[in-house]
Structure 1
Amino acid sequence: MCGFVGGASNKHNLMFSKTINNLEILSHRGPDDSGLYQSEWMCAGFRRLSIQDTSTDGHQPMTFDGLTILHNGEIYNFREVRNELCRKGYSFESKTDTEVFLKGFHAWGLHCLEKFNGMFATVIIDERNKRVMLIRDRLGIKPLYYVHKKGEFFAFASEIKALKGIVPFTENREKVVEHLIYRSVVGEKTLFNDVCSLLPGEYLVFDHPKEVVHRDIYYAPTQEMQRLDMDEAVEQAEKLLIEAIGRRLISDVEVGLQLSGGVDSGLIAAIVQTHFHKASLHSFSISMTDSPEMDESRYQMMVAGQYGITHHDIPFTGVDFQKYLDHAVWHNDYPIVHPNAVAIMKLAEYAKQYVTVILSGEGADEAFFGYPKYKFSVHRGLLGLLISLNPLSGALLPDIGKFGYVKSLIKGVPDFKTMFVETRKGKDLSYYMSPEQLRYGYQERLCMMNQYDAEHDIPVFDQATSLRELLRRFDRMTMSASIEGRVPFCDHQLMEFANSLPASVKANRNGLKLVLKRLAEKYLPHELIYREKMGFSLPIDKWFSENADLRTVASVLGEDCFLDKKIVDPDRFRAWWNGGTYNQREFIDVAWPLLGYELWHRKFISS
């Protein structure tokens, strides 16, 4: 895991000085080593976090036969690919996956990507042809951003903040509003004007002499369905999960676990110890000492105790939230959607004392039907009937507000896919926005949904939207402490398999995530598997009401400096905020996203 920044420009000296200055911004992504590359048209800087082959042999940028690579991430099967390259006559000077990527690209071009299993954001500089290629992994686990100002420069970076000074930071209002409404954005545009994100499974080629950018996909998720019964699905899921976890244990530094107390991280812990027998495995968890109703430490300890894991309980309070909030805003690059990002930052800081790599369960819910909203697929026929009976649907379904569907049903949305997109909106926040604002991002999402089968592929839609936000959160918060986060459930082979299963195998009217829960019965206590899903929530409404420093932070929402931005209707919002009658859900759904936006704006735009 590493970080880089660089660019191509005819004004080479200016780009070089900006690259040098901004490289320090990424020091948290690579505290172990740094390196520079420069030629008459290109310069790039690299910060290294040593994971595979911690010697200086892994120094980057790395060059071979006119090609130079800057590689962030891991190719988990690099040893197998290396052996294949050796049979083709290639020799190696290091034991790194970086050298395998570089020489694999030299041997096969883009076809090398078909051989790789991993997470990566990689830049390859072709000095002979004066071209730069950017490549991002299939699921977008590792970040990669770029800016192209035709006739001026092309720049790229691992984090948006490293582009500051290279391009002026101004907000893209449509994307900002979309992010507030949906808690994620779709497409390559970011919240910053002119800054684009390379999308998952994409590559980009910048031809410097021609000043041309070409973007294309090299990977599209398969949509072929398998007809497996439950026993067959569980057997195959176990095989693929064991393989995915085994690959992510390959490291020359210590590997630990983030334990949430749920099925996903519990399964990872159990499989690590059952099949790979780690002698000194450390796990890390957040406990809510001042909010026992949200505390899951009992279940975290249950898993750690069962498998002989050295467990570290990390208390997190409102004082901690206030202490880490500003730091988290800086590292996140975007407004913080999920308040628990702040807690993950503290966990990573603590874990760094013991490990440099940490495994986590991100992606399991999106792959295996873990969220209540996926009951849409299970109940599709019933919901379609109720919609057709509009306006009686509201009376027939008086309270499914737990899933946030009843408002859409009552509105009489025309079809299933439209209804699903409607329910992705933050309903309470939408009340304070204009009809024009509510259109931002809506059509793009509807177009995406139309690519999918409504019964089976709703999680695939989330993998392309909300999961991207979760992966970015995990990357930024772990890397803030120079820790590499690995996500076994986001192994592309496992994800493809999960997506190929019929919805009826993954969920029914009595439960969700059936395949993983059946698998977990082999490894974990029944009490843990079948308890009610809690999620990683923080009592931020309570903390902001009790902590004077946090109240001061939140008070900005009533000030003109915020309201004058007109991100919401000033009069309507002021009346609600100054009234002080909001409940817990309203604070989390309305006040927190807007506060996150204001803190982000002050950090990146106003400053």
Structure 2
Amino acid sequence: MCGIAGWVDFDRDLTDERATALAMTETMSCRGPDDQGLHLGRHAALGNRRLAVIDVEGGHMPMTADGLAVITYSGEVYNFGELRAELAAKGHRFRTRSDTEVVLHGYLEWGEAVVDRLNGMYAFALWDERTQELLLIRDRMGIKPLYYYPLPHGVLFGSEPKAILANPLAPPVVDIDGLRQLLSLASLRQRPVYKGMYELPPGHLLRVSRQGTRLRRYWALEAREHTDDLDTTVRTVRELLEDIVSRQLVSDVPLCSLLSGGLDSSIVTALAAKRGRIRSFAVDYAGYAENFQADELRGDPDAPFVRMLAEHVGSDHTDIVLGPDELADPSLRAAVVRAWDVPHFVGDMNSSLYMLFRAIREHSTVALSGESADEVFGGYAWFHLPEAVQADTFPWLAMVMREHQPTDILDTSLLRRLDMDTYTADGYRTALGEVPHLDEQDERERRMREICYLHLTRFLPFLLDRKDRMSMAVGLEVRVPFCDHRLVEYVFNTPWSMKTFDGREKSLLRAAGADLLPEPILRRVKAPYPVTQDVGYEQALRAALREVASDKESPVLPLLDPAAVRAAVTDPSEKVTTTMTRFGLELALDLNVWLTDYGVRLDL
């Protein structure tokens, strides 16, 4: 796992731009603390910061192949062993044990069609010396990020926007559409917040030449008839999971699992434990279990289930317990905004994950996660609520934004100009237009295929980005077995009636892992990632916003509604009653940090 950055310009000699190319690469040091490399050619500069996971000694990058091509690579290809053997049989000779070299030689053998053979999470840039072309490639599900910024005669690129913004040719400007994307709770467009910058969509490649750029989609979800019966389907899901976890356990450095005590992470941990003792980690909050209050999304705390699973599989388990003072630390907020490159309003869902990963990194370099099982198998409550399913919008918005929105704290005239309702509606219609359908599918199955597609393409990207940014900010690689494209394709085409055959959420996954888990975990209802319920944290948020509001130089003030700010910072007799209200406080504070630290120019 690494961070990549680069610059291609057919109109200038980049050998004179070493300092800028190095500055771009250095912004990725958090993603790659183990090694740094730079390939500097006349028209192409490729940089890499490496987190060594496979072939620690031999995998230096950027990597070249006989002067024919150069690659800077981020990610893991889990089937590199099979590909290496196939390439060796064709006469390719390897100097290292790394998957990077396999991908490079795969390109020399198959050209850009190499992407059709890769199983994994990856984002890489490959400069072909023979054709003087750059190829940018991102994995099918978008697990690893990749951004680019077109230039008149080339392109800038990087694993994160900060790599691109380190080049003077890409100033940090945000226009009205960028602000809309920032405030959205759906991945509506492949255009990030910064003006002129783009995100390479999942399952796409971009070829850059003197003639310009060519974007090609090499993978997409397709509608296929599912002919397996229920028993065969359950067995197939289990076989896929066994193979996926086995592949993703390959590592030359310490590996662990993330354990929440829910169905998803428990199955991953249990499958990993079948192949040897595994270390597991969980996040918890001081006093959380003792003072837990159930709400509409969460009925019980994680801790008892975490202990149950850890004892059941014999994992070497550690709880990372966080307190409200730690979570409210301004330096932590700044670190999280820096990791994202933009503000986000999900508050301690970000900061607690960052702290969890930072603690894990002291013991392990790689972690397995249960992320994306809810999107693949239909786990969220709103998959099963008629009012959310039938809503004329994204179902998660219909459920979690019924009363309050984080944007309620923004200036009313700004909100009118943003017109988030229209922006979201347009994005929703675009997404619906992409959904592949089967002929003669009944109305219920057709709608649930749409709901599943929306989650996989518009909700999951946010969660994958969050997982990637918070983990790579501390140099931890997180793998996501449920994002294996073979599993995603198979389950996507499984009828909804089969996905819920026992009348519950994630029926297929529960059946596939029934023999792995204690009964209470197998029966447990889906619980989302926890947020602290400590009133001290919310009091700290209000105090921080009062301080921001009292400083007339605070850059966020022109964006906020003074009356809403006054209401938000007033200490009530008890804690704020809705998560969305608290997220409004988080949004204002994050915006202020971002505008201050990034020197953003708002072009509204």
Secondary structure of the corresponding residue to residue 537 of structure 2: helix
Aligned to 1:556: 548
After superposition, the C-alpha distances for 1:346-405 in whole angstroms (9 at most, x for unaligned) are 1222212221110001110000000011125xx5xxx6xxxxxxxxxxxxxxxxxxx6x8
CA distance in 1, matches of 2:179, 2:240: 38
Aligned positions of 1:179-578 closer than 5 A: 179-180=182-183, 182-207=184-209, 209-210=210-211, 212-274=212-274, 276=275, 278-279=276-277, 281-292=278-289, 293=292, 295-323=301-329, 324-338=332-346, 339-375=348-384, 379=386, 417-418=392-393, 420=395, 423=398, 426-427=401-402, 428-429=404-405, 433-434=415-416, 436-438=418-420, 439-452=422-435, 453-507=446-500, 510-539=503-532, 542-547=535-540, 551-553=543-545, 555-556=547-548, 567=559, 570=561, 573-574=564-565, 576-577=567-568
Report the Cα offset of residue 174 of structure 1: 2.0
* 418 and 331 in structure 1: CA distance in 2 versus 1, 3 angstrom threshold: closer
Report the Cα offset of residue 598 of structure 1: 3.4
Report the Cα offset of residue 561 of structure 1: 5.9
Residue type of the alignment partner of 2:430: C
- Farther off after superposition, 420-429 or 103-112: 420-429
Residue type of the alignment partner of 1:4: I
Aligned positions of 1:81-160 closer than 5 A: 81-151=83-153, 153-160=154-161
After superposition, the C-alpha distances for 1:43-95 in whole angstroms (9 at most, x for unaligned) are 1221111111111x211111114110111001100000111111111111111
CA distance in 1, matches of 2:163, 2:323: 31
| Structure-1-length-normalised TM-score | 0.87
CA distance in 1, matches of 2:270, 2:516: 6
* 258 and 241 in structure 1: CA distance in 2 versus 1, 3 angstrom threshold: same
Secondary structure of the corresponding residue to residue 155 of structure 1: strand
Report the Cα offset of residue 129 of structure 1: 2.1
Within the candidate set 170, 175, 178, 2:173 is matched to: 170
CA distance in 2, matches of 1:510, 1:434: 43
* 111 and 561 in structure 1: CA distance in 2 versus 1, 3 angstrom threshold: same
Residue type of the alignment partner of 1:38: L
Equivalent pair of 2:187/2:457 in contact (CA under 8 Å) = no
Q: Pairwise CA RMSD of aligned residues?
A: 2.6
| Structure-2-length-normalised TM-score | 0.87
Q: Percent identity?
A: 27
* 422 and 348 in structure 1: CA distance in 2 versus 1, 3 angstrom threshold: closer
CA distance in 2, matches of 1:237, 1:557: 53
* 347 and 419 in structure 1: CA distance in 2 versus 1, 3 angstrom threshold: closer
Secondary structure of the corresponding residue to residue 450 of structure 1: helix
* 355 and 585 in structure 1: CA distance in 2 versus 1, 3 angstrom threshold: closer
Equivalent pair of 1:421/1:445 in contact (CA under 8 Å) = no
After superposition, the C-alpha distances for 1:153-209 in whole angstroms (9 at most, x for unaligned) are 5111111111223111012332322332x32332221011111110100100111x3
- Farther off after superposition, 14-23 or 457-466: 14-23
Report the Cα offset of residue 30 of structure 1: 1.1
Report the Cα offset of residue 96 of structure 1: 0.7
* 563 and 482 in structure 1: CA distance in 2 versus 1, 3 angstrom threshold: closer
Equivalent pair of 1:185/1:441 in contact (CA under 8 Å) = no
CA distance in 2, matches of 1:132, 1:34: 21
Indicate whether 1:588 and 2:582 are aligned: yes
* 123 and 32 in structure 1: CA distance in 2 versus 1, 3 angstrom threshold: same
Secondary structure of the corresponding residue to residue 45 of structure 1: strand
After superposition, the C-alpha distances for 1:276-321 in whole angstroms (9 at most, x for unaligned) are 2x14x21111112232217422211111111111001110111221
Residue type of the alignment partner of 1:158: S
Equivalent pair of 2:191/2:198 in contact (CA under 8 Å) = yes
After superposition, the C-alpha distances for 1:395-437 in whole angstroms (9 at most, x for unaligned) are xxxxxxxx6x8xxxxxxxxx76557486278442266632752
- Farther off after superposition, 467-476 or 554-563: 554-563
- Farther off after superposition, 333-342 or 73-82: 333-342
Secondary structure of the corresponding residue to residue 440 of structure 1: helix
Equivalent pair of 1:341/1:477 in contact (CA under 8 Å) = yes
Secondary structure of the corresponding residue to residue 49 of structure 2: strand
Report the Cα offset of residue 227 of structure 1: 4.2
Q: What are structure 1's unaligned runs of at least 5 residues?
A: 384-402, 406-414
CA distance in 1, matches of 2:357, 2:394: 38
Moved over 4 A (4+): 415-422, 557-568, 578-582
Aligned to 1:412: none
Residue type of the alignment partner of 1:330: R
Secondary structure of the corresponding residue to residue 491 of structure 2: helix
After superposition, the C-alpha distances for 1:110-141 in whole angstroms (9 at most, x for unaligned) are 22111110100010001232211100000000
Residue type of the alignment partner of 2:63: M
Secondary structure of the corresponding residue to residue 384 of structure 2: helix
Number of residue-to-residue matches in the alignment:
563
Equivalent pair of 2:343/2:591 in contact (CA under 8 Å) = yes
Aligned to 1:602: 596
Report the Cα offset of residue 573 of structure 1: 2.8
Larger proportion of helix: 1
Equivalent pair of 2:324/2:534 in contact (CA under 8 Å) = no
Aligned to 1:388: none
* 313 and 565 in structure 1: CA distance in 2 versus 1, 3 angstrom threshold: same
CA distance in 1, matches of 2:550, 2:495: 49
Residue type of the alignment partner of 2:526: K
Secondary structure of the corresponding residue to residue 42 of structure 2: coil
Secondary structure of the corresponding residue to residue 528 of structure 2: coil
Secondary structure of the corresponding residue to residue 73 of structure 1: strand
Q: What are structure 2's unaligned runs of at least 5 residues?
A: 293-299, 436-445
After superposition, the C-alpha distances for 1:225-250 in whole angstroms (9 at most, x for unaligned) are 41444332221111111111111011
Equivalent pair of 2:149/2:196 in contact (CA under 8 Å) = yes
Secondary structure of the corresponding residue to residue 235 of structure 1: helix
CA distance in 1, matches of 2:532, 2:581: 10
* 586 and 421 in structure 1: CA distance in 2 versus 1, 3 angstrom threshold: closer
Aligned to 2:5: 5
Residue type of the alignment partner of 2:416: S
